[in-house]
Amino acid sequence: MTDAPESQPSLSTERHILLWLVILAVLGFLCYLLRGALTPFLVGMAVAYLLDPLADRLERAGVPRGLAALLIVASFLTAFVTVLIILVPILSAQITALVGRLPDYAVLAAEAIRPLVDELKAKLARTQVQGLESIVQQHASELMGWTGQVFSRVISGGAVILSVLGVVLISPVVAFYLLRDWDRLVARIDHLLPRRGGERIRAIFREIDQRLSAFVRGQVLVILILGAWYATGLVLVGLDFGLLLGVIAGLISIIPYVGNIVGLSIGIALAAVQFGSWHGPALVAAVFGSGQILDGYVIQPKIIGDRVGLHPVWLMFAVIAGSALLGFTGALLAVPAAAVIGVLVRSAIAQYLKSPLYLDAGPAPRNAAAEDEAPPR
């Protein structure tokens, strides 16, 4: 008999998993160390990813890839700067006015709840009332001090200004180079995939791309549509700082239902203090209720569809966990990470459902005593 040819050494499945876990751990540690410098590059990568289909269309139309990338990034940057020039002065003025009127709002809120406080005092003993007053005064002073610190940081905003300048100056350059070389980078990564199991990895990457692109591009449209809807509706209602509140509610609408809930809560509180009757809060509730109907019955089914597959609770947890770990950088990484983990979990579940562990397709287990007595082969 001739000797069987020696098989090429290969990593076992356990070693493959261990290797990828080590790589992911190293990447996560590097992201944690460099979280302060990653934001402009992540924004540039996101812009390149969003605009790559447009670059592909221009390239198919005969425009060179480099020129197409330059035109797209220049147009995007021009539109972005134009929006900033229009909105930033208005929003800055509203923020300054809101800070100046916070004491007035506190006085009006105190007058609104004074009848309830008087009724509560009449029903409680004097010692209990004094204890409640001391607790309220202590927490009110802490809240006012924290609020003052937050707004002073926002107004001074040295770090925020530097971060915004970094995004405005660096992100377009990163987006241009990535957009120009996107297909080349994808081909290079595809070339480095392992020969065994490469098709399965490509299928996983295609699903990640499909779900992530559907979510990101869909949520950008959701932010634009709902932000414009909320801001316009609140301004027409006559709510002070309606434009500011509408923009904020639209921005955080990237997490389903969160933008609507936060905007509705703050809007009703502001309207109750400003108008002093139920008509104002009712109009604000109508604005956000109609926005939720628009999102649930038009935007989500018609624009986004069911290709995303990211549950709102999972997405909310990912954003909160990413923000807690890496700050703003973690919030940017949360959505892609959630999409990747979701696809990997679904792939693992699909493999499990096909495996003998689930189907129990293997031979029935023999008696252990019989196995011990069986002669070795």
Question: Mind listing the pLDDT tens digit for each residue in 246-285?
Answer: 888 888 887 767 778 888 888 888 888 777 778 888 999 9
Tens digit of pLDDT for each residue in 163-193? 666 677 888 899 999 989 888 888 888 887 7
Q: Is the dihedral of CA 185, 191, 197, 200 positive or negative?
A: positive
Residues 50, 215: contact at Cβ < 8 Å? no
Residues 261 and 287 in one domain: yes
Q: Is the pLDDT assigned to residue 98 strictly greater than 80?
A: no
Residue 22 resides in a domain? no
| Predicted TM-score of the model (pTM) | 0.64
Residues 158 and 251 in one domain: no
pLDDT of 96: 80
Structural domain including 349 reads: 197-357
Residues 182 and 49 in one domain: yes
CB neighbours (10 Å) of residue 230? Answer: 29
pLDDT of 140: 58
Indicate the number of domains in the chain: 2
Q: Is the pLDDT assigned to residue 135 strictly greater than 50?
A: yes
Decide which of 91 and 152 is more confident: 91
**End residue of a domain, out of 168, 192, 216:** 192
pLDDT of 136: 61
Residues 345 and 206 in one domain: yes
Tens digit of pLDDT for each residue in 306-344? 555 667 777 778 878 877 777 766 776 777 778 778 777
Residues 323 and 185 in one domain: no
Residue 316 resides in a domain? yes
Residues 206 and 245 in one domain: yes
Burial class (CB within 10 angstroms; exposed 0-12, middle 13-18, buried 19+) of 163:
middle
Residues 76, 240: contact at Cβ < 8 Å? no
pLDDT of 21: 75
Burial class (CB within 10 angstroms; exposed 0-12, middle 13-18, buried 19+) of 9:
exposed
Residues 46 and 165 in one domain: yes
For range 60-83, the mean pLDDT = 89
How far is the CA of 313 from the CAs of 203, 298, 338, 361, in angstroms?
Answer: 26, 21, 11, 36
**End residue of a domain, out of 161, 192, 223:** 192
Q: pLDDT-derived band of residue 352, with 50, 70 and 90 as boundaries?
A: confident
Residue 298 DSSP label: I
